[in-house]
Chain A
Amino acid sequence: MTQTTEATLYLCDLKQNQKGIIQHCAAQGMLKQKLLSMGFIPGAEITMLRNAPLRDPIEIGIHNCLVTIRRSEAALLKVEAA
């Protein structure tokens, strides 16, 4: 995936320790509910902390919490680099 412009930046594209602001969540149904209830709402600040040793999943920081999420799911969250 390219990350040349801000518009195409997704959560999974962030580099280690890079921060981002959630813009939009393209998930549906259960995933969407789960994301929302854990605070993945537009405007929330998110920090990419690290990849798992095998690169997937990733660990991120949001609202003072550490959360792990698979890359396939992180690819649904559009972010803006902060």
Chain B
Amino acid sequence: MIKVVLAGQPNSGKSTIFNVLSGVNQHVANYPGVTVDKKSATLKFQGEQFEIVDLPGTYSFSTYSLEEMVAKNFLLDEGTDVIVNVVDASNLRRNLYLTFQLLELGKPIVMILNMMDVAERRELEIDVDRLSEMLNIPIIETVGTKRGGKKKEILNAISRAGKITIAEPFKIDYMEFESFISKIEKMITYDSTISKRWLAIKALEADKVILDKVNIDKDTIKDMTSSIHAKHDLDVDQTFARVRYDSADVVYHKCVKEKNKNLDTLTAKADRIILNKWLAFPVLGFIIYLIYQLSIVWGYKLTNYTWPLLATLKNWVVTLLPPPDLHNVPMMTDFGIWMVNSAIALLNYVPIFFILFALIAILEDVGYMPRMAFILDRIFRKFGLHGQSTLPLVLGGAFVGGCAVPGIMATKGIADDRARLATILTVPYMNCLAKVPFYTLLLGAFFKEDMGLMMFFISTVTLFIALIVARLTTSTVLQNRETAPFIMELPPYHLPTFSGVLLRASQRVWLYIKKVMTIVLAVAVVLFVLLQFPGVSTEKKAEFSQQMNKALSQFDKKVQNNKYYTHVDEVSEVSALINLYDSYKAQRMLAGSKSAVASLDAAFLAKSPKLFPLVRPQDKEAKKVSKATRKLSKANKKLQIETKNEKITNSFLGMFGRALEPLTQYAGFDWRVNVAFLSSFAARESAVATLGSIYEKGKSNLSPEESLAQDGTYTPIHAASMLLFMILTPPCIATMVVVKLQTNSYRWMLFAIFFPTALGVVLSVLFFTLALKFNWSGVDMMRNFYLSAATLTFVLSLIKTKQSGWQVGKSQ
């Protein structure tokens, strides 16, 4: 097997080359211990096995950034056979800087001269043969965006390179440093496939990782550098960099002809508009609006089409489960339905996620991401965030409704570790899509007149809260996290490729399904147990049975003179009839066209020729039975719901909700609200579902809004307090899983759960108490909360942080 690594500078099109080589069979994981993506693939070509690893893009191999450390450690530890150096042809000089360091390693190298089209457009004439000769490596020219292009040629070159042993590695003359390099070389006893000279050079650069590897004391190097400084008045780092750049310059001038020196590139022209002082914000606003419209709004519409598919799936699963025996639903069935519901609640978001991930991939490819950071850095920096925090926050729901999952996933590219963590911790405060039904439920019930105003408060206060939290965390718990200097390349604009975008979007959706679903389902099991046990008391059970018997005898009375009576004169038959009726009703709702209804009817008739005519009556007598059945089904449903509510009331979660009441009553939450919030942890939709079902009581045709409003237990300030808690409430499990993935730490995940919860409890208690004391209305309470958050944000933005930006002079 040939072990191949792909190395190159950021924006050299490395990922595209990797995709070309590996196709879909790639494996994405993290490097051990860090959150840097490790993409690898194995493939077979002409009888040879290749293992290809895509190293993170780095400008160099210093010790400072995580990516560089990871890349260097990988090259040091793994037995790499061939290095494939992807080089941006339009930026050859700077790319050679890394190439030289790779050449010095003493391993076989294949250079891929990517983006030849861009180089051509810039009127650069590259003498590839000359370059290949000077560096003594094979070079393959590619145009990154053209898919599949030169896979064979590349693999052939790799295979040939794998058979070479390099006698004498490429050498740059470091002049004054040479004596020191050979001195260190002699000290090195470390045995590896890597050239000793390379290790010696890195050691002289005081590279911590290398010094540990080769067992040389830091002070030895320090002595040398100070003697260099004294003797030649040279700064080691700067001189190494200068010599490498000078060498790159020599190679560049011998191999490249710039036919037009002052070419005004397309990128420069585009930037004049996109980054223009006056136009930058409108353009940014438009792009954000477009993302929001395409993914959230249209994606949500798309779910109208995908939902029936999921509902069909659910109906199908229900048919596999044991049917309910009148009002007694078997636990197995309850459990099955619960699990299916939990799964489809999340699967329902897949279309939205897919569009979102595709749009992110496009933005990444085009090169707009770092430009977004360029435009907004000034604002976000004040709160400890980074210009690159914009997109995650927008995706999290800067408008009404987003989703924290893609938001947190999009934090990956943020260079500054502290800002990245702060962004991860603040994204869950944005307005999650699934919170919207909860808001509309409460607003519809208590704030009919002020709905617009309240919605405005809710949807914009989240941004203030996010900024405040970011500022608080970065100046406390995140204070000592590593920060990075804000230096970013603004890559030339590229057209994204359809297949590349599709591949990345589906990879991310798949990751979501794989990682998030498993954990959400595991938690759903736990919640189910907490909601089911210890169950309904025997007295209650007897009471429900009695009510059922009453309903049954009423049914019996109505149909006993019917000519179909023999079909339904036994309880088991009635039970089957009810189940048939319910299942037909559920499937009938999904059948849109006339022909679909006809085929559905035929299928049902074939399955139950005796009972189905009573469900879909054709004659007068059957109609009578059908009417009685509808009534019985209703009574049965009501009893099922009452049983369920009784179960919830008695359940462990119900007990827990009641146990919290002494505390939460100060926020105006009774145990029922507590249960709703607790169950919302699995997925936020559950809050509405639970609250709805607790209030449903099966008794009336009132909408959940009406029954909540008429219940009388709650006033608008109760509702405002609930809204306030929901705004701050802990993120759902799916988000927590992603927080764990992106921070690689359970501690941050726990922090992300408990901090918002504590904040939510404290603030809703505070504002509820204030509202009671000063006789505020619900709207008053919300407005005051809003104004306090806005003021605090403004004040914080005026206070200068000591840590804002990167620390000057923070040396090794």
Within 8 A of A (CB), among B350-368: none
Interface pairs (15), CB distance under 8 Å? A28-B809, A29-B811, A29-B812, A31-B806, A36-B241, A37-B97, A49-B271, A50-B271, A52-B377, A53-B281, A64-B94, A66-B489, A68-B374, A68-B487, A73-B806
Chain B residues contacting A33 (CB-CB under 8 Å) are 60, 62-64, 237
Let me know if B267 and A41 touch, CB within 8 A: no
Let me know if B370 and A28 touch, CB within 8 A: no
A42-B242, A50-B277 are known contacts. Are A59 and B490 too (CB-CB below 8 A)?
A: yes
Partner pick for A76 among B375, B808, B810, CB 8 A cutoff? B808
CA distance A81 to B275 in the complex (A): 25
Chain B residues contacting A15 (CB-CB under 8 Å) are none
Instruction: Name the residue of chain A whose CB is nearest to the CB of B281.
Output: A53
Given contacts A36-B238, A54-B375, A59-B374, list 13 more A-B pairs with CB under 8 A. A28-B808, A30-B62, A30-B485, A31-B808, A33-B62, A34-B65, A38-B489, A53-B277, A54-B378, A65-B91, A68-B487, A70-B381, A72-B805
Partner pick for A67 among B237, B488, B492, B809, CB 8 A cutoff? B488
Within 8 A of B (CB), among A1-55: 25, 27-39, 41-44, 49-55
CA distance A76 to B486 in the complex (A): 13
Chain B residues contacting A41 (CB-CB under 8 Å) are 238, 241-242, 245
Chain B residues contacting A53 (CB-CB under 8 Å) are 275-278, 280-281, 375
Partner pick for A63 among B94, B485, B810, CB 8 A cutoff? B94
Chain B contributes a number of interface residues (CB within 8 A of A) equal to 51
Let me know if B486 and A69 touch, CB within 8 A: yes
Let me know if B60 and A37 touch, CB within 8 A: yes
Q: Closest 9 CB pairs between A and B?
A: A37-B60, A30-B64, A36-B241, A37-B59, A33-B62, A54-B378, A28-B811, A66-B490, A29-B811
Partner pick for A29 among B242, B487, B810, CB 8 A cutoff? B810
Chain B residues contacting A44 (CB-CB under 8 Å) are 245
Instruction: Name the residue of chain B whose CB is nearest to the CB of A74.
Output: B487
Chain A contributes a number of interface residues (CB within 8 A of B) equal to 39
CA distance A52 to B377 in the complex (A): 9
Chain A residues contacting B771 (CB-CB under 8 Å) are none
Instruction: Name the residue of chain A whose CB is nearest to the CB of B10.
Output: A38
Interface string of B93-107 (1 = CB under 8 A from A): 110010000000000
Chain B residues contacting A64 (CB-CB under 8 Å) are 90-91, 93-94
Smallest beta-carbon distance B126→chain A, Å: 13
Does B759 reach chain A (CB closer than 8 Å)? no
Partner pick for B489 among A30, A67, A72, CB 8 A cutoff? A67
Chain B residues contacting A49 (CB-CB under 8 Å) are 271
Partner pick for B486 among A36, A37, A54, A57, CB 8 A cutoff? A57
Smallest beta-carbon distance A64→chain B, Å: 6
Chain A residues contacting B377 (CB-CB under 8 Å) are 52, 56-57, 70
CA distance A69 to B268 in the complex (A): 17
A29-B810, A51-B277 are known contacts. Are A34 and B487 too (CB-CB below 8 A)?
A: yes
Does B484 reach chain A (CB closer than 8 Å)? yes
Does B290 reach chain A (CB closer than 8 Å)? no
Within 8 A of A (CB), among B782-812: 805-806, 808-812
Does B752 reach chain A (CB closer than 8 Å)? no
CA distance A34 to B486 in the complex (A): 10
Interface residues of A (CB under 8 A from B): 25, 27-39, 41-44, 49-57, 59, 63-70, 72-73, 76
Chain A residues contacting B60 (CB-CB under 8 Å) are 33, 36-37
Smallest beta-carbon distance A10→chain B, Å: 13
Does B291 reach chain A (CB closer than 8 Å)? no
Chain B residues contacting A51 (CB-CB under 8 Å) are 277
A33-B60, A55-B378 are known contacts. Are A68 and B810 too (CB-CB below 8 A)?
A: no
CA distance A55 to B281 in the complex (A): 13
Chain B residues contacting A28 (CB-CB under 8 Å) are 808-811
Chain A residues contacting B242 (CB-CB under 8 Å) are 41-43
Chain B residues contacting A76 (CB-CB under 8 Å) are 808
Chain B residues contacting A69 (CB-CB under 8 Å) are 485-487
Does B379 reach chain A (CB closer than 8 Å)? yes
Let me know if B806 and A72 touch, CB within 8 A: yes
Does B87 reach chain A (CB closer than 8 Å)? no
Let me know if B485 and A31 touch, CB within 8 A: yes
CA distance A43 to B491 in the complex (A): 23
A28-B811, A52-B375 are known contacts. Are A63 and B91 too (CB-CB below 8 A)?
A: yes
Instruction: Name the residue of chain A whose CB is nearest to the CB of B280.
Output: A53
CA distance A22 to B42 in the complex (A): 45
Within 8 A of A (CB), among B280-302: 280-281
CA distance A1 to B275 in the complex (A): 25
Chain B residues contacting A37 (CB-CB under 8 Å) are 59-60, 62, 97, 241
Smallest beta-carbon distance B357→chain A, Å: 26
Let me know if B374 and A57 touch, CB within 8 A: yes
Within 8 A of A (CB), among B502-548: none
CA distance A74 to B202 in the complex (A): 27
Within 8 A of A (CB), among B201-255: 237-238, 240-242, 245
CA distance A56 to B373 in the complex (A): 11
Smallest beta-carbon distance B278→chain A, Å: 8
CA distance A73 to B811 in the complex (A): 14
CA distance A35 to B486 in the complex (A): 11
Partner pick for B805 among A38, A63, A70, CB 8 A cutoff? A70
CA distance A60 to B487 in the complex (A): 11
CA distance A64 to B378 in the complex (A): 25
Let me know if B490 and A34 touch, CB within 8 A: no
Let me know if A38 and B59 touch, CB within 8 A: yes
Chain A residues contacting B378 (CB-CB under 8 Å) are 52, 54-57
Within 8 A of A (CB), among B463-500: 484-492
Instruction: Name the residue of chain A whose CB is nearest to the CB of B488.
Output: A68
Smallest beta-carbon distance A17→chain B, Å: 11
A28-B811, A29-B811, A41-B241 are known contacts. Are A68 and B490 too (CB-CB below 8 A)?
A: yes
Smallest beta-carbon distance A49→chain B, Å: 8
Partner pick for A68 among B63, B278, B486, CB 8 A cutoff? B486
CA distance A42 to B242 in the complex (A): 8
Chain B residues contacting A25 (CB-CB under 8 Å) are 238
Let me know if A65 and B374 touch, CB within 8 A: no
Let me know if A67 and B490 touch, CB within 8 A: yes
Smallest beta-carbon distance B226→chain A, Å: 16
Smallest beta-carbon distance B180→chain A, Å: 19
Smallest beta-carbon distance A53→chain B, Å: 4
Smallest beta-carbon distance A75→chain B, Å: 8
Smallest beta-carbon distance A1→chain B, Å: 15
CA distance A53 to B93 in the complex (A): 31
Instruction: Name the residue of chain A whose CB is nearest to the CB of B371.
Output: A68
CA distance A30 to B417 in the complex (A): 14
Instruction: Name the residue of chain B whose CB is nearest to the CB of A63.
Output: B94
A28-B810, A50-B277, A53-B281 are known contacts. Are A39 and B94 too (CB-CB below 8 A)?
A: yes
Chain B residues contacting A59 (CB-CB under 8 Å) are 271, 275, 374, 490
Chain B residues contacting A66 (CB-CB under 8 Å) are 267-268, 271, 489-492
CA distance A27 to B65 in the complex (A): 16
Let me know if B97 and A39 touch, CB within 8 A: yes
Chain B residues contacting A36 (CB-CB under 8 Å) are 60, 237-238, 240-241
Let me know if B808 and A27 touch, CB within 8 A: yes
Let me know if A54 and B810 touch, CB within 8 A: no
Let me know if B373 and A68 touch, CB within 8 A: yes
Instruction: Name the residue of chain B whose CB is nearest to the CB of A29.
Output: B811
Smallest beta-carbon distance B282→chain A, Å: 10
A42-B242, A64-B94 are known contacts. Are A73 and B277 too (CB-CB below 8 A)?
A: no
Chain B residues contacting A35 (CB-CB under 8 Å) are 487
